[in-house]
């Protein structure tokens, strides 16, 4: 997660945002798993744009101030507050791990639609990509990142 977001969060809430940044090893392991589950060539670099194209058939547009809530309503997703959320900002950067209730509560402090172009959320059996202009693409047919 960008340092300026963490600084802004600390100024506003007088505490640190609670999350875990995965090691390079763990990040690569998860990225490789995503490649395998979605039949990407492991020898080609995976980008969020490429993943975005792959999920083209499953897309919705969200025009809401609470994107996260809207996504779960539209897709009829049931996620418990203790679920783990993997946030992938870019396949070359460390993956951030949050509890769902933290992501839900502080979504506007985590996702800045003015600076973040595409983000991939992995929650239970769902891959959810979000763009800065409100388009959502998702996959619920793959067992995303369970049993890591």
pTM of the predicted model as reported, rounded to 2 decimal places? 0.78
Q: What is the CA radius of gyration of the chain?
A: 15
Residue 146 lies in a domain: no
Residue 144 lies in a domain: no
pLDDT of residue 144: 46
Residue 82 lies in a domain: yes
Residue 36 lies in a domain: yes
Residue 108 domain boundaries: 3-139
pLDDT of residue 80: 76
Helix, coil or strand: residue 51: helix
Mean pLDDT by 10 residues, the chain (148 residues): 95 97 92 73 68 66 62 68 84 89 88 76 75 70 49
Q: Closest Cα to residue 85, out of 75, 72, 74, 76?
A: 72
CA–CA gap between residue 83 and residue 79 (Å, rounded): 7
DSSP state of 141: S
Strands 96-99 and 84-88: antiparallel
pLDDT of residue 51: 72
Structural domain count of the chain: 1
Residue 23 lies in a domain: yes
């Amino acid at each position: 997660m960008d340092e300026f977001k963490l600084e802004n969060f600390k100024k506003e809430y007088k505490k640190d945002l609670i999350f875990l940044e995965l090691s390079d090893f763990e990040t690569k392991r998860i990225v490789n798993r995503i490649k395998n589950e979605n039949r990407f060539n492991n020898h080609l670099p995976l980008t969020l744009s490429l993943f975005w194209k792959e999920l083209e058939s499953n897309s919705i547009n969200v025009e809401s101030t609470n994107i996260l809530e809207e996504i779960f309503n539209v897709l009829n997703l049931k996620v418990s507050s203790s679920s783990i959320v993997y946030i992938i900002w870019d396949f070359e950067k460390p993956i951030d791990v949050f509890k769902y209730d933290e992501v839900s509560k502080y979504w506007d402090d985590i996702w800045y639609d003015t600076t973040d172009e595409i983000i991939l959320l992995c929650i239970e059996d769902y891959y959810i990509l979000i763009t800065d202009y409100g388009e959502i693409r998702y996959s619920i047919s793959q067992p995303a990142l369970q049993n890591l």
